[in-house]
Structure 1
Amino acid sequence: MKTSANTGNPKRTQKDYSLPFKLQLVAEIEHGLLTKSQAKLKYGIQGDSTVTKWLQKYGNFDWENQAHTTMSKTPEQKILELEAKVKLLEKQKARAEHLAERADKKVIIFDMLVDMAEKEYDIQIRKNYTPELSKASKKNKKRL
């Protein structure tokens, strides 16, 4: 895939666009998140009429009567949309699980390092706070 010199976005060919990608782009435009020209720039789409054709083919706008209607999608389109959503959610779930596991490992390592430092230098790093407010907090509370 080549990159465009003026935008830095990758130039795409027609075979690069999957159906879930087209449906996502159409949904973004129909929900008012992007205009056609913004979508073209954001995703590196070269053809001037490509986005318009996708809107005509997959969108809910009635191009013959120039009015919005809720056209029912074919079962195949619905299945493809749902499959794309499932894949996206699975990716998000896997990423969240990975980040949670990584955070747990960091906590364990940090605790081990603090334990080692306390033993090595014979100092108490962790603070044992009592339920009472500290003197500084009491002073601040009285001022208010």
Structure 2
Amino acid sequence: MNEKSESKYVKRTQKDYSYSFKLAVVQEFESGQISKGELKRKYGIQGDSTIRNWLEKYGTFDWANKTPGTMPKTPEQKLLELEQKVRLLEKQKKELEQQVEKSDKKAILFDMMIDIAEKEFNIPIRKKSLPGQSKPTKKNTKKQ
């Protein structure tokens, strides 16, 4: 039983692609990571001019003057960028919280290990700080 899974050709339209997907493809192309042809293969985009149209609509390249520039972003583009930044920051925050929790657990574990070692070997491991440590004195420098 040697069955091949055949991919059925599905004609897609512009309405099949979400606004955020189009912006992501444009951003990926403009960052220089990948070519238009590779994007077509990667995401299954069928039309030859689809990505070019998206670049003209949503990209930062000034197609009228043929110069790269900063075209004003629409409020929707700004909102989507801010939402992506918020998601990224939330992910980073979660990772940092996990690292802090892990570090706290390590500190507790090391304290327990030191306590056990001090009891087992009957030696002081922790440095005892002196209660009356003096503060550094200020030098009086007078101009003569």
TM-score, normalization: structure 2?
A: 0.55
Shift of 1:51: 5.4
Q: Which residue of structure 2 lines up, in the alignment, with residue 111 of structure 1? A: 111
| Distance across 1 between alignment mates of 2:123 and 2:112 | 15
Q: Which residue of structure 2 lines up, in the alignment, with residue 89 of structure 1? A: 89
| Distance across 2 between alignment mates of 1:71 and 1:16 | 23
Shift of 1:54: 4.3
Higher relative contact order (CA 8 A, sep 6+): 1
Shift of 1:69: 2.9
Q: Which residue of structure 1 lines up, in the alignment, with residue 56 of structure 2? A: 56
Shift of 1:16: 9.2
| Distance across 2 between alignment mates of 1:30 and 1:129 | 60
Percent of matched pairs sharing the same residue: 48
More helix by percentage: 1
| Distance across 2 between alignment mates of 1:101 and 1:112 | 17
| Residue deviations 1:43-82 (CA, integer Å, cap 9, x gap) | x445485655543332101234422232212111111111
1:36 aligns with 2:24: no
Aligned length: 112
Q: Which runs of 5+ in 1 are unaligned?
A: 1-14, 131-144
Answer whether contact 1:36 1:52 (CA < 8 A) is retained.
no
The aligned amino acid for 1:81 is: E
TM-score, normalization: structure 1?
A: 0.55
Q: Which runs of 5+ in 2 are unaligned?
A: 1-15, 130-144
Computed over aligned residues only, the root mean square deviation of the Cα atoms, in angstroms, reads 3.7
| Distance across 1 between alignment mates of 2:43 and 2:55 | 14
| Distance across 2 between alignment mates of 1:107 and 1:52 | 55
